Structure 1
């Protein structure tokens, strides 16, 4: 039993990181049907924001908490720019959005290579994240605990915003039936813009957390984008609860398999299990209830 503690704890932390990466996709893919392959580069942007914040504020005890809202805003603005310039013309054409955003992701990677070293830049952990907590004899790094807490806060904040705010109600109305929402006065274009901003901003927050665990580089977004999409689809498109469960399951599976095989093979096995699950239940863990006009 004790041998399972490390992969379970590490897998939970990995699942929390995948959850942070997938939350934004849950909004943009779930509401607008946009397959945004540049979402990974928004994660990369958040990681580099953490590094730049530390260059301006060298005290990492202050710079990391400061980097979280800054990364949210910067990544959110990048998403808003992408939506206003390209995505707005391609709604209800998911394959076109996939192809275009693949090109955008490559452009963003090249821009990062021109600005930062190819090997990446380090992000220093604050003093309050440099220790470990003992869990049944296993020294669990505090930075992983921080990732889990951060993911829980983001999920709770997003769920409360969607459920209790007037804008959240407009988002849910748009998800259920865009045409009907427009007939009752919901400005769906404004809903789309703000949703894309929030979804992309959450990717920036994920980037800050990822930088504390694995550093930064121009290719880091590719490590998270495919797992994040699988988590969203397996959990049920647009379903936060399903996304949370799927992220934890994928993270733990990858960590368990990594103990028996290599990290890359563990990822392949975990993805294969998700694909098999989707063959059995293609709608994912939860499905969206919609209302038609008829």
Structure 2
């Protein structure tokens, strides 16, 4: 596998693939953050999570076109507006879905899987009807174009650095909300003991609705980041939903630190293996490694300790 490469070439390859893996890690983490919050607290298997990401990507695409046509002088700043719109639209749809559908299916995980899978098909068809079946891409502002030379053989993409910085900011905000806010305290209480939380006055239904909305909103922001590294199509979300569930389960569904560690491990493994093998073989090997580790530690890398 490594034949024909000098040590210097291998060093450059691993460095470049590590950076590519960090970009993939950023998308995985943004997707998995929302899914971990929903799955960890509510036990809802949201198969439409990828479509919420693509909804955010399409919102970014529309915002890009609006700024390019009507306010070109502000085009360099459109992405920040697009992220806010993607979060609001995806989060609002998430709140509506929870109120109309999910709240009737609590404690029935297989039913939530089937219902959200059906929702994902409906959203895919809606995307085809509104935006067309062909994939679309956004035009990046000039300040996101190009790359920065690190060494003579290693360059890093500016838009990749921006995606990683965005991921750090979003992860920090989620951590602050979970561990430094009243809502986060209520979420952790519901995760620990839903019945007792309701008995002491916490509105668990309201916490669930806000949690589902926040998770879907974060998926929308992930969609905005996704537009920088790939084209947007009606079924693009399905390419990431399996990897996202894998990240959540491997890291531990109720652990923020586990989600981060799992996303980093899986993204770096896939990125490195894809250079030396085919993309499908890289996914297979990564999946086999994760399955082996889950056999040794079925609760995931990190587990929430609860007094019983």
Whole-Å separation in 1 of the counterparts to 2:23 and 2:191 = 30
The Cα of 1:273 is off from its aligned counterpart by 1.6
Q: How many residues align?
A: 292
User: Does the 8 Å CA contact 1:176/1:289 hold for their aligned counterparts?
Assistant: no
Which of 19, 33, 47 is the matching residue for 2:29? 19
Aligned partners of 1:277, 1:123: CA distance in 2, in Å?
39
Q: Please list, as runs of the form range in 1=range in 2, the aligned pairs for 1:107-146 lying within 5 A after superposition.
A: 107-136=122-151, 137-146=153-162
The structure 2 residue matched to 1:77, chosen from 80, 92, 106, is: 92
Deviation, structure 1 residue 291:
4.1
Q: Which residue of 1 aligns with 2:102?
A: 87
Match of 2:67 in 1: 57
- Indicate the structure (1 or 2) with the bigger Cα radius of gyration: 2
Give a deviation string over 1:7-39, Cα, whole Å, max 9, x none: 111111101110001000110000000000000
Where structure 1 has 5 or more consecutive residues not aligned to the other structure, the ranges are none
Deviation for aligned residue 1:144: 1.2
Check whether the contact 1:72–1:204 (CA below 8 A) recurs between aligned residues.
yes
Structure 2: gaps (5+ residues): 1-10
Q: Provide the TM-score with structure 1 as the length reference.
A: 0.97
Instruction: Specify the SS of the correspondent of 1:212.
Output: coil
- Deviation, 1:104, is 0.6
2:169 is matched with: 153
TM, length-normalised to structure 2: 0.92
Distance in 2, matches of 1:186 and 1:134, equals 53
Matching of residues 209-220 of structure 1 within 5 Å: 209-220=225-236
Q: How does 1:179-190 map to 2 (within 5 A)?
A: 179-190=195-206
Is the partner of 1:14 in helix, strand or coil? helix
- Structure 1 residue 196, shift from structure 2 partner: 0.6
Aligned position for 2:113: 98
Spell out, residue by residue over 1:60-90, the C-alpha distance to the aligned partner (whole angstroms, 9 max, x if none). 4121111111100111111111111111011
Question: What residue is the counterpart of 2:55 in the other structure?
Answer: 45
SS in 2 for 1:57: helix
Q: Which residue of structure 2 aligns with residue 204 of structure 1?
A: 220
| SS of corresponding position for 2:126 | helix
